[in-house]
Each structure stands twice: as structure tokens, then as C-alpha cells.
Structure 1
Amino acid sequence: MSGVIVTGPPKASAQEVQALAGYGVATVHEAMGRTGLLGTGIRPVQQGVRVAGTAVTVLSWPGDNLMIHAAVEQCADGDLLVVTTTSPSTDGLFGELFATALQRRGVRGLVIDAGVRDTQELRAMDFPAWSRAVSAQGTVKATGGSVNIPIAIGGQVIHPGDVILADDDGVVVVPRADARRTAEAAEAREHKEAASRAAFQEGELGLDRYGLRETLERLGVRYQAYGA
């Protein structure tokens, strides 16, 4: 397998990333019309952490982390490394040494559709990671791949420079061209949810606030006293 390392792709601006960084993955997913999630199989190795950054993408061969080494050189402050493989792999492609090199370059975290290891060390050094698997299985460095090309994870296409958000709920990709608009939609959704939260704290029911009694009636759902 040959490949290509693309240098200097366009990225979402730091201001756009910052505008999205304050919102949770669920909020941003909803704000984009319920799109962008990388699936339920990519899970954090830590808890209580939220990150946002611009994607540096990697396509590797299963069980081979050569292209992650190549990708480190292309990473800069504010980036987030996103790795997938040409076919399913759970081998531990990424560990503490990679994290050390990336942290030195200001990289905000890792999303990998494969395995990660050294999870205790990653947590201790505050390097966030989301992975398909945790595996101590080692890898080789023998096959070419690509860096900074479009890749797909969980049915979502990720282009280099797109915004990646990740937290305890999972990972979402925001296309670079949609970053500003999505941040505005996420802010509007936050305001709406804050109003609903205040109403629920006062005892209002979702059935009434969202007009769901009419929906139940339309669907033919009826109330019946127990034993009647």
C-alpha cells in the first residue's frame, strides 16, 4: 500500500474551534440536525474531559503505526489526531510515547478507530484519548498509508481541518465550512435547554411544555385507570 502525506491543509480557525469548545457532543450533534457522530463504539479512556481541535487525519494499515509517526510531524498546536485503518483493527497502535510527542506539539487529544494502550499513563499525563478498543497488542512499522486525507469513521467522513469535539458521550465531527454556523445553532439550543431546565425545576412536565399530550392523542394512546 502506497500513500500520501498532505502538508498544510486548510483548517477551521482557532476562533471557530473555541466557539464550539464550550458545547457538549450531544448539543452539537443536535444542532447539526443529528449528524456527525462517529458512532457508539469510540469510547473515552478517561472521564470528565471535553476537548475540541482541528483534525489531522491518518489512514494506517491494521496493526501498523508507521503513519502515526509520520503524522506527528504534521501536527501543530490546537490539532487533534484522528486515526483509522484500512480494515478493522483492535491492536494497540497508540500509547504513551506517541502522546508525549504530541503533547509537546500542543495536540489536544486522540481519536482512533483502533486500539490504544498505556491508558493509565495517558490519564496520568492528561492526554485525552477516545478509541475503539484498549489492547496491549503491539504493532509493526512496515506499510505505507496516508496523512491528511479524507477518512471515514462510523459512517462519517472527516476531512483534515474539520473540527472534532469529544467528551464522555462520544465524538462528533463538524465540517470546517459549517463550524461558525454550528456554533451559533449550538448556542441557540443551549438557551432553549436552559429555559426548559428552569421550567422542569418549577415542576412543569415535558408532556405540556413540548405539546406531547396532543401527540399521544393523535397516536391513539389512551389513559386507563389501573384495574379498569
Structure 2
Amino acid sequence: MANPATSEICDANHALVTNGDVRVLQPIFQIYGQCRAFSGPIVTLKVFEDNVLVRDMLETPGDGRVLVVDGGESRRCALVGGNLGQLAQNMGWAGIIVNGCIRDVDEINACDLGVRALGSNPLKSSKKGHGEKHVPVNVWGTIIHDGEWLYADTDGVLISKTQLSV
């Protein structure tokens, strides 16, 4: 099934946008990966300059879900690289949103996966295993909960409390 356009979702669900059940993320993300449009239920992670939990999560079956990684807006290192992009594709994840940086851009762009990030940085992250899984995260003023739905395309990224249709 094709992903509905985010603009169409906003138009068809104006009341949900107005009451906050559908939120539009700030237009700050760069687009990576071959999937320009993707959607799915959200899994959240909160980490800072440490991607051990990112790998741990991507090693589990994605089942069409979207991993939202709150990296604290850090641009000092990458939280996702080409190996993790390939892992996410192989495990069936629909996409990854990184409130931080990625690296190995050419490798990630070759993956059949949707990826959004603040930018790229060639420096890898630390490997201490610090962070939290399945917790509410704050991405540029938008609170995102585990189990909500994400819709992304070239117009932007939407967060919804429930699965939507147009």
C-alpha cells in the first residue's frame, strides 16, 4: 500500500492537527535512503553520542516500524552509519529518524530505507550502552511517544497518536 502524502494527511485530518493529535516536526531534517516516503508505528530511543542501544534495537525485527532516535541534537558524532542502515533494511525497519547525525551517507543512500537526520559527521559515537528505550522523546519541541505513528515524505514528517488514512 502506498504511503499517503503528508500534505494530504494534514488536509484530511485538520481537526486532529488543530487539537494536537497530529503534529508536524520542525523542517530541520535532511533526507537520506532510497525510501523518500515511509510510515509506521514508532519505537523511541533516547541516547547521547552513544549508539549501542541503536544497534541493539535495529537487531530486532522491525516489522515495518520506524525508529525515532533522540540524540539530543548533537552534531559532534554519528549515531547511525552504513552498517546500521543495512541492518535496519535487512531486519524490516521502515525508517529511522535521528535527532542527531549519521555517517556513511553513500551507503545509507543505497539502502531501501527511509532515513532523516540533522546532517552527517564522519566521527563514530561512543560505545558505552547509555540511554533509554521506549521512553517519550522531545524532538525540537515535539514530544513523541513509543507506539505513535510516523508519516514522512519529501514535504515533512508527521507524528500521530493513531494510524491515519486519507
Q: What TM-score do the two structures reach when normalised by structure 2?
A: 0.85
The 3-state SS of whatever aligns with 1:115 is strand
- Please, which of 120, 129, 143 is the counterpart of residue 157 of structure 1? 143
- Residues in 2 aligned to 1:68 and 1:150: alpha-carbon distance in whole angstroms: 16
- Residues in 2 aligned to 1:77 and 1:160: alpha-carbon distance in whole angstroms: 15
Q: Contact 1:56–1:75 at 8 Å: present in 2 too?
A: no
Matched, 1:58 2:40: no
Cross-structure match for 1:42: 29
Q: Contact 2:99–2:117 at 8 Å: present in 1 too?
A: yes
Cross-structure match for 1:23: 4
Cross-structure match for 1:33: 17
Structure 1 residues 46, 106: CA separation in 2 closer, same or farther (over 3 Å shift)? Answer: closer
Structure 1 residues 130, 175: CA separation in 2 closer, same or farther (over 3 Å shift)? Answer: same
Unaligned runs of 5+ in 2: none
Q: CA RMSD in A?
A: 2.0
Unaligned runs of 5+ in 1: 1-17, 188-228
- Please, which of 107, 119, 128 is the counterpart of residue 133 of structure 1? 119
Compare relative contact order (CA 8 Å, sep 6+) and give the higher one, 1 or 2: 2
Cross-structure match for 2:109: 123
The 3-state SS of whatever aligns with 1:33 is helix
Greater helix content: 1
Q: Contact 1:45–1:119 at 8 Å: present in 2 too?
A: yes
The 3-state SS of whatever aligns with 1:39 is coil
Shift in Å, 1:73: 4.0
Q: Contact 2:38–2:151 at 8 Å: present in 1 too?
A: yes
- Residues in 2 aligned to 1:123 and 1:136: alpha-carbon distance in whole angstroms: 15
Cross-structure match for 1:112: 98
Greater strand content: 2
Which structure has the bigger radius of gyration?
Answer: 1
Tell me the amino acid that sits aligned with residue 58 of structure 1.
L
The 3-state SS of whatever aligns with 1:36 is strand
Tell me the amino acid that sits aligned with residue 29 of structure 1.
C
* Number of aligned residues: 159
Q: Deviations over 1:84-139 (max 9, x none)?
A: 12x33012110111112211211011111100111111122222211111211221
- Please, which of 124, 130, 134 is the counterpart of residue 148 of structure 1? 134
Cross-structure match for 1:77: 63
Shift in Å, 1:43: 2.4
Q: Contact 1:38–1:172 at 8 Å: present in 2 too?
A: yes
Structure 1 residues 48, 141: CA separation in 2 closer, same or farther (over 3 Å shift)? Answer: closer
Matched, 1:96 2:96: no
